[in-house]
Amino acid sequence: MKMFQRVLGLLMTVASGTALYLIVSFPIPSLNTEFFTILCGYLLAMFLPGLLIDLVFGRLEKGFEEDIASKCGGLQYGGYLIGYVERSLIFLAIVIAYFDSALSYTSILSFLSVIVAGKAIFRYSSKETNDRACADWYILGTLMSITMALALTWGIFRFLLIG
């Protein structure tokens, strides 16, 4: 399954990145470019951070004797799924702020604090191990996912849609 996630992530990243490049470089007047820019940007914001986090964690995991993910417990691919959901929520919040002028980007930052707090409450309330590596692993993955999702989503909206 992990190899499937990597291949799917790589294919989606390359396809959406290429599509964004083509949309920006060769605009077609009859095509609804705003919709396709948002769609391709969403796919890029979903899959590229997962690939980068997997790459970083693969390097970090080599320093441990055992697989840190199995040591910390949880669903086997729960981290991937949680990452997709949190990046979707971040993207959705920025889409809503983009289309609704009554909302500010400050409200998005408030929304992000709810995501982080909710993850921390659920994670630490059900955690049975006191291992520091598990907590560091979890916080690092969360912060990397949120940071990359914000950066990619902001870049897509700022440079491709707003101009």
Residue 145 domain boundaries: 2-162
Q: pTM of the full predicted structure?
A: 0.82
User: What pLDDT digit, counting tens, does each position of 72-115 carry?
Assistant: 766 777 778 888 988 998 898 888 888 887 777 777 777 778 77
| CA nearest to 142, candidates 89, 90, 72, 79 | 79
Q: How confident is the model at residue 3 (pLDDT cuts 50, 70, 90)?
A: confident
| CA nearest to 152, candidates 140, 141, 163, 160 | 160
Domain count, the chain: 1
